[in-house]
Amino acid sequence: MHIHILGICGTFMGGVAQIARSLGHQVTGSDQNVYPPMSEQLTALGIELMNGYESEHLEPTPDLVIVGNTLSRGNRALESVLNRQLPYVSGPEWLYQSVLKDKHVLAVSGTHGKTTTTTILSWILEYYGLNPGFLIGGVAENFGLSARYTDSDYFVIEADEYDTAFNDKRSKFIHYHPKTLIINNIEFDHADIFHDIAAIRREFHHLLRIIPQQAKVIVPQDDLEVAKVLEMGCWTPVETFSGVDSEWSLTNADNDYRHFSVLKKDEIVGKVSWPLLGEHNANNALAAIIAAYDVGVPVDKACTALSEFKSVKRRLERIFDAKEIQVYDDFAHHPTAITKTLKALRQHAGKGRLIAIMEPRSNTMRMGVHAETLSSAFVDADLVLLFQADNVDWDIAAHMADLGDRCQVFTDIEDIVDLVSKEHQQGDHIVIMSNGAFGGLHKKLIDAL
């Protein structure tokens, strides 16, 4: 079958493309910006990529068009699909019908930590020999891939709450029908899709309504929004972690959480030594350990797997370590994620300076939804350098005024690079936070250092 994918270079749709190719389909695709690393992965698989969305890209006529959720009415290629009455489907719907309906699906949902937790869980199952298929919103360093199809009974998927497609405004995770579900946390995000937190709650409630009684839901006990979702109705056994009375928790953790023990009902059942930093990552690991345990992986084996875990690209990834200076790349773009990332680095850096360089780039950030709470997210940073792009409609400097001299706002990336390259000190820990390419700042800064 010839499948053409509209929006093929996004992390999810690129993963769908890789899986479709593994199933033996001829795959082609279009995107507004054909860019690496996804473009490189797809080209290596023999997938033809086309830049832009032109009706000519649908020649020769494909047997099926898979439409990504970034496309809306008025898009030339999409209008051609509709006018010609070509068969089309959303990515999540195709994935369920072609792969997931025959698998034990382990889904990882929540506002923060999805990519890391999905990768940890995939690696634990791989290490134990279960050979899982997976689709992750990032490149998993243990695999060198963001997605793969296998003949295993298990498939691990990053289950986000973003909408499905132009014709289906339900959250993508509604289509996955998981038998093991992690809800890491729930906060307000994606303001371009959801009016308020209640709308997000409702989507998670809809997900819980279709999960069978024989499944398992894994949640943090101390998350108030998750608790509200459960109160709306849950017909599936729930396993809790990281709370006073939860079944599972962390204990014996060192300062930066690179070493900790797993507690199950007051009994230590495993010990972890791994390279990731921070309490938030330790909790991500704990959720993955519980999910793996649900499909038969002993806790001690899961803990051993973590000792060989290599994380995910752009999730507190150390990209420079020389001259007693360390530079990290992180995907954080929400005040909570920024807070947790900086707390983890503060615990690790000791007395060294912590410099945060951040681009408010997500749709929610550009809309100014988090403007009032953003400054408090930088409590652990010694120096905060923020980039005011042309498409950010609110005055960043005005909202950061309470940080005083610790914060500077720039309209030119080169000025950020120039400042850091001149004023860096031995012992500095520098973290670059953005959900985009940040105008190539990463490479420019490393070259300067």
283 shares its domain with 233: yes
108 shares its domain with 245: yes
Residues of the chain above pLDDT 90, percent:
67
Q: How many separate domains does the chain show?
A: 3
Q: Is the pLDDT of residue 36 over 80?
A: no
26 shares its domain with 150: no
163 shares its domain with 78: no
17 shares its domain with 163: no
> Is the torsion defined by CA of 415, 417, 422, 428 positive or negative?
positive
414 shares its domain with 392: yes
pLDDT tens-digit map of 96-114: 999 999 999 999 999 988 9
Cross-strand pairs, 270:
262
Q: Is the pLDDT of residue 313 over 90?
A: no
405 shares its domain with 381: yes
Q: How far apart are CA 114 and CA 280, in angstroms?
A: 11
Angle between helix 441-448 and 413-423 (nearest 10): 30
pLDDT tens-digit map of 115-158: 999 999 999 999 999 999 999 988 888 888 889 999 999 999 99
Q: Is residue 311 part of a domain?
A: no
Last residue of a domain, one of 306, 328, 360: 306
pLDDT tens-digit map of 7-24: 999 889 999 999 999 999
Q: Is residue 312 part of a domain?
A: no
116 shares its domain with 149: yes
Q: Is the pLDDT of residue 35 over 70?
A: no
Q: Residue 158: which CATH number?
A: 3.40.1190.10
Q: Is the pLDDT of residue 367 over 90?
A: no
Cis check: omega of the bond before 37, within 30 degrees of 0? yes
The predicted model gives 273-279 an average pLDDT of 90
Last residue of a domain, one of 306, 341, 373: 306
Q: Is residue 208 part of a domain?
A: yes
323 shares its domain with 300: no
Q: How far apart are CA 18 and CA 88, in angstroms?
A: 18
Q: pLDDT value at position 314?
A: 75
Q: Residue 379: which CATH number?
A: 3.90.190.20
pLDDT tens-digit map of 389-402: 888 888 888 888 99
Classify strands 354-358 and 104-109 as parallel, antiparallel or unpaired.
unpaired
Amino acid at site 91:
G
Q: How far is CA 333 from CA 7, 73, 75, 90, 406, in A?
A: 22, 28, 28, 27, 20
* CB contact at 8 A, 106 and 130: no
Rounded to the nearest integer, the mean pLDDT of the chain is 92
User: What residue numbers bound the domain in which 196 lies?
Assistant: 99-306
pTM of the entire predicted model: 0.85
Angle between helix 299-306 and 114-127 (nearest 10): 110
Q: Is the pLDDT of residue 368 over 90?
A: no
pLDDT band at 288 (very low <50, low <70, confident <90, very high): very high
253 shares its domain with 354: no
The predicted model gives 178-203 an average pLDDT of 90
Say which residue, 202 or 256, is predicted with more confidence: 202
Q: How far is CA 146 from the centre of its chain?
A: 11
pLDDT tens-digit map of 434-443: 877 888 899 9
Last residue of a domain, one of 90, 125, 146: 90
Q: How far apart are CA 311 and CA 320, in angstroms?
A: 16
278 shares its domain with 255: yes
Q: Is residue 433 part of a domain?
A: yes
46 shares its domain with 190: no
The predicted model gives 57-85 an average pLDDT of 96
Q: pLDDT value at position 232?
A: 97
Residues of the chain above pLDDT 70, percent:
100
Q: Residue 76: which CATH number?
A: 3.40.50.720
Q: Is residue 222 part of a domain?
A: yes
